[in-house]
A and B are shown apart, each in its own frame.
Chain A
Amino acid sequence: MSAFEEMRRDGRVGEQTVELFVWSVSAAVRRHRYPPPTGSAAWTHAVCLEWVIDLFDKKGHDVAVRLFVHAVDQISFAKLVRRTVENELKDQAKATTAGKLRGRMRTLLGKEAGFVDATSLFGGDPAWTLEGFGDAIYLGDWADLLYAPALKLIEPIRELNTAGPTSKENADKLVTAARVILTEAGGAVRDQVLATALVKLFELEVAEMFLGTDGNTMAAIEGSARSPEQQVEAIEAGDRMIMELSTDELRGLLVLEESDAVAAVLMPHIPNIQDFLEALRVKLQNLIGTDGVPLGTLTHVLNYARHLPDVH
Chain B
Amino acid sequence: MNLHPFDSRLDAALRNVNDSLTGFPTTTVSSARPGQVWRARWDDALALVFIDAILDGARNLVRVAPVSIGTDVADDTAVILPIESSPLSVAMSVWPDLVTDIAEIVLERWITGVETFASLAEVTAAANDGQLRRGLPVLNELSPRHQERLLLELAMEVLSLAADLPSGNGRLEAILAGVSTATVAGVLNVDSRVALQILRGLVFIDRQQAHLLANVVDRDPRELLDANPAAPDELLATMTALRRGAAIRALAAKQQVSESQAFSTALRGVFALAARKEGTTTDWVGRADSYFEVSLAS
Chain A interfacial positions (CB closer than 8 Å to B) = 7, 11-15, 18-19, 22, 46, 49, 52-54, 56-57, 60-70, 72, 76, 87, 146-147, 151-152, 154-159, 173, 177, 200-204, 206-207, 258-262, 264-266, 268-269, 271-272
B20 at the interface (CB under 8 A from A): yes
Q: Are A64 and B18 in contact (CB under 8 A)?
A: yes
Q: Are A67 and B14 in contact (CB under 8 A)?
A: no
Q: Are B46 and A201 in contact (CB under 8 A)?
A: no
| A–B pairs, 12, beta carbons within 8 Å | A14-B1, A53-B9, A56-B14, A60-B13, A63-B17, A65-B69, A67-B21, A69-B39, A76-B46, A147-B133, A201-B136, A261-B158
Q: Are B24 and A87 in contact (CB under 8 A)?
A: no
Which residues of B are found within 8 Å of A11, using beta-carbon distances? 21-22
Query: In the bound complex, what is the Cα–Cα distance between A179 and B91 (angstroms)?
Result: 30
Q: Are A203 and B88 in contact (CB under 8 A)?
A: no
* A63 CB, nearest partner CB in chain B, Å: 5
Q: Are B44 and A49 in contact (CB under 8 A)?
A: no
Q: Are A261 and B45 in contact (CB under 8 A)?
A: yes
Q: Are A56 and B144 in contact (CB under 8 A)?
A: no
B140 at the interface (CB under 8 A from A): yes
* A37 CB, nearest partner CB in chain B, Å: 15
Q: Are A156 and B140 in contact (CB under 8 A)?
A: yes
Q: Are B76 and A156 in contact (CB under 8 A)?
A: no
Chain B interfacial positions (CB closer than 8 Å to A) = 1-6, 9-10, 12-14, 16-22, 24, 39, 41-46, 48, 69-70, 72, 76, 88-90, 108, 111, 133, 136-145, 154-155, 157-158, 161, 207-208, 211-212, 258, 260
Q: Are A262 and B24 in contact (CB under 8 A)?
A: no
Chain B interface, DSSP helix/strand/loop, else mixed: mixed
Q: Are A13 and B142 in contact (CB under 8 A)?
A: no
Q: Are A62 and B16 in contact (CB under 8 A)?
A: no
Q: Are A64 and B20 in contact (CB under 8 A)?
A: yes
Q: Are B9 and A261 in contact (CB under 8 A)?
A: no
Which residues of A are found within 8 Å of B22, using beta-carbon distances? 11-12
7 closest A-B pairs by beta carbon, nearest first, are: A60-B16, A56-B13, A64-B20, A259-B44, A261-B43, A12-B18, A64-B21
Q: Are A200 and B90 in contact (CB under 8 A)?
A: no
Query: In the bound complex, what is the Cα–Cα distance between A271 and B138 (angstroms)?
Result: 35
Q: Are A14 and B111 in contact (CB under 8 A)?
A: no
Seed contacts A53-B6, A207-B140; 7 additional CB < 8 Å A-B pairs: A61-B16, A63-B17, A64-B21, A70-B48, A203-B142, A206-B144, A272-B208
Q: Are A202 and B141 in contact (CB under 8 A)?
A: no
